[in-house]
Amino acid sequence: MAQSVIRVLLETACAKQFLIAAYCLMPDHLHMLAGGTSVLSDALEFVRVFKQRSGFQFRQSRQQALWELSYYDRVLRHGDSIIEIAGYICWNPVRRKLCQKPDEYPYSGSQSFAWMREVYLPPKS
């Protein structure tokens, strides 16, 4: 099921003109760092369609809801490091003790850069 959610995430990003710099699907939440690729990119619409499509598939197979109604988002500011944020995202399963190293976790990745190579160092404490 997790691979299906990731497939829907990547398909929806493409359809809604977004590029996913980093994602990590955890057992109880999703971390995602995304950026619009067009002046027409609409983050609210992207998230709405993604949650609708992935939630529908999940409900069909599991007879329960996948997502909560709301979500937490943060807009990056000038000076925010995309690499540091992507690093935080890819180290999330290690912090939760789901794996020893980020590249062992099968439900994370990037559409825009070789993130494992660039963010492999542990985040600063």
Residue-wise pLDDT for 37-81, tens only, equals 999 999 999 999 999 999 898 888 888 888 888 888 888 898 998
Q: Provide the pLDDT for residue 71.
A: 87
CA 47 vs CA 9, 16, 40, 91: distances in Å: 9, 9, 15, 23
Q: Provide the pLDDT for residue 73.
A: 87
Q: Provide the pLDDT for residue 124.
A: 60
Task: For residue 20, name the pLDDT band (cuts at 50, 70, 90).
Answer: very high
Q: Provide the pLDDT for residue 31.
A: 95
pLDDT reading at 122 higher than 70:
no
Burial tier of 100 (Cβ tally within 10 Å: 0-12, 13-18, 19+): exposed
Q: Provide the pLDDT for residue 12.
A: 96
DSSP one-letter code for 87: H
CATH class of 2-118: alpha beta
CA–CA distance, 14 with 10 (Å, rounded to integer): 6
Q: Provide the pLDDT for residue 36.
A: 95
pLDDT in tens, 76-119: 898 998 888 888 998 999 999 999 988 899 999 988 766 555 55
CA–CA distance, 125 with 55 (Å, rounded to integer): 35
Please say whether the dihedral angle defined by the alpha carbons of residues 10, 114, 125 and 99, taken in this order, is positive or negative: positive
Q: Which of 67 and 15 is assigned the larger pLDDT?
A: 15
CA–CA distance, 110 with 120 (Å, rounded to integer): 13
Q: Provide the pLDDT for residue 46.
A: 96
Enumerate the domain spans of the chain.
2-118
Q: Where are the alpha helices (DSSP H) in the chain?
A: 2-15, 43-62, 82-95, 115-118
